[in-house]
Amino acid sequence: MLTVAAALLVAVSGSGAMAAGMGRASMMDKTFVQKAAQSDMAEIKTSQLALQRGVDGNVREFAQRMIRDHNMTSMKLKRIAANNSVMVPMHTTAMQQTEYMRLSKLSGVSFDRAYIQGQVQAHKAAVALFTSEKNRGRNMQLRQFASTTLPALRDHRMMSMQTASIVMGTSNGRYAHRNGMQHMNNMGHMNNMGGMKHMDKM
């Protein structure tokens, strides 16, 4: 009986150490979940709008990629949040809702330009948010999620800049050069698939 009791004590202690190693979600972790979830929702909603109101083929292709990838990351984030008893917001922010309403009143080239400019800014912010969580977050599951999602987000940022170069008619300055578009699409797809496969194992 003593042997069994001792074994149970070791098992319980080991489980406690493992749980402590994972780390409870801190306020920063919870803020990350909130902002990341709202970012996903905003990306999906505005990109769905792009398929309805956009006319440029590059914009529509980019929007389809955003819908696919952000639906995937949204599902993974919700699962991790549930495992750690962290609430996930159901709605986008007031600012994101205002931007959606602004875009919904545009169409054609005007929409394409406004949408893709917003995407450039949104993905710069997303990369900064996920980098911060990766480096400073307390909960290991959320830190790992941020780390494995970052490569795809960096691809999105570059793709948004390249698409903006095409839509805005610029090849230098604010946005990336047009000639790298196809290469980055291919590399982005490869990196994204690798990152998503890794996240599936989480």
60-113: pLDDT as tens digits: 999 999 999 999 999 999 999 999 999 999 999 999 999 999 999 999 999 999
172-196: pLDDT as tens digits: 434 444 444 444 444 444 444 445 5
pTM: 0.75
Distance CA 201, CA 50 (A): 32
Question: In the CATH scheme, what architecture does the domain 27-200 have?
Answer: Up-down Bundle (1.20)
